[in-house]
Each structure stands twice: as structure tokens, then as C-alpha cells.
Amino acid sequence: MRFNTTNGDFEAKFIYDSSVVLPTVVYCSEQYWYSDGFELSLRDSEGNLLSKSDYTVEWNDKNYTSVNLINKALNGKVITLNIKPKIASIIA
């Protein structure tokens, strides 16, 4: 697990166990790091970006995000979860 305190990028790796029914929950501080939201992505052990049909995401409140893998073919694979802050667009 890594968190970059300069830009707010977060990365976590875990082995997917399809027998676990509870989601992975990530704390994403809206106040300090993700005030404009964030982008979440998941990759398999080969570096391939997972399709949105491979997982679900729920925002439990403004700081907690739940990720639940649903593609059982990924069982036993290392999954990399990345979160990057969204950059606010400036309208001139």
C-alpha cells in the first residue's frame, strides 16, 4: 500500500478471494485530499484495466468507498486499486 502525500495518489494491492463476500473499504479524505472527487481504477496482475462489469463501487458517505469484485475469474489474482484526485477545472 502506498499513499503519495505530495499529490494524493493512493495504491493498494491485494489478492482477490472470491469466497469473501464483504467489500474492500477505502477511506478517502474529502477534506484533505479529494475535495473535487477522485478517479478509481482497478488492474489485474498483468496490468490490464478491469472493466466496470468486473466490480461495483459504492460511496457510503463522503469519505468511505466500498469496492466489491464480482468477476469470479479473477479469484487468486493480485488486484491493484488506484485512487487519484480529480483536478478542479477552472472556468475563465
Neighbours of 55 (CB within 10 A): 20
- Output the pLDDT for position 35: 87
pLDDT digits (tens, 9 = 90+) for 24-51: 999 998 888 988 889 999 999 999 999 9
Look at residue 68 and tell me if it is in a domain.
yes
Look at residue 92 and tell me if it is in a domain.
no
**Alpha-carbon torsion (23, 25, 26, 30), positive or negative:** positive
- Mean pLDDT estimate for the chain: 90
Query: Which phi and psi (to 5°) does residue 73 adopt?
Result: -65, -15
The whole-model pTM stands at 0.85
CATH of the domain at 16: 2.60.40
State what percent of residues in the chain have pLDDT above 90.
Answer: 76
Asked if pLDDT for residue 10 goes beyond 70, the answer is: yes
Contact between residue 44 and residue 50 where contact means Cβ atoms under 8 Å apart: yes
Domain range enclosing 33: 2-85
Q: How many domains does the chain have?
A: 1
Look at residue 55 and tell me if it is in a domain.
yes
